[in-house]
Amino acid sequence: MKSSEQDTLCDTPLNEITWTVFDLETTGIDAEHDTIVEIAAVHVMPGFRIDHKNTFNTLVNPEVDIPARSTDIHGITNEMVKNAPDFMTAYYSFADFARDTVLIAHNSAKDMAFLRVSLSEYFTSPPFPFVIDSLRLARIFYKGIRHDLESLSNLFHFDKRVSGPQHRALPDAKRTALLFRKLVMEIFPKECYLLGELLQIQSVYK
């Protein structure tokens, strides 16, 4: 995206943007040594409407064994991924789904680190200039509570609206979408109106 296009996007009202909320499942927590085993995403349309019907979800063959401790968390086994697409095939499909949108993730630093490391093996980088982190926003606007996605989902009863287990990519992407919509509808337009203002707000909490 060119600088002029980024400037235009920063000046876009939040309720006119299409967002892609995504989540990853991995073989572990270290982006330098672990790999991605699932990618899922859901769109939040202009007006903050979550598009539950048009979603993206794919397992990814990590080409290494998934440790039992990780399978215990997300339930993804070696058998499940043995015929899944490799990372780049899965990534290109995800990138196409997310094209011309703004990314959102809960603890986006972790998920973006996995994407960057995986893509660096192919001498490229994620083509998304802006990423909103629902974890940072929750820490800013919801004080005195736990801010992991599972705790927030339980607090705000998202599981009543999302089918599927926690720690699987698509259900967690949908929970993150619900959290983002709750956050953004509370702060828009009282706290901020434009994407650039939202990026500035989240930048105060690293």
Per-residue pLDDT reduced to its tens digit, 139-177: 999 999 999 999 999 999 998 899 888 899 999 999 999
Structure tokens of 31? Answer: 């982006």
User: What is this structure's pTM?
Assistant: 0.95
Residue 5 is predicted with a pLDDT of 79
| Segment 27-74, tens digit of pLDDT | 999 999 999 999 999 999 999 999 999 999 999 999 999 999 999 999
Residue 123: which pLDDT band, with cuts at 50, 70 and 90? confident
Compute the Cα dihedral for 35, 152, 105, 32 and give only its sign. negative
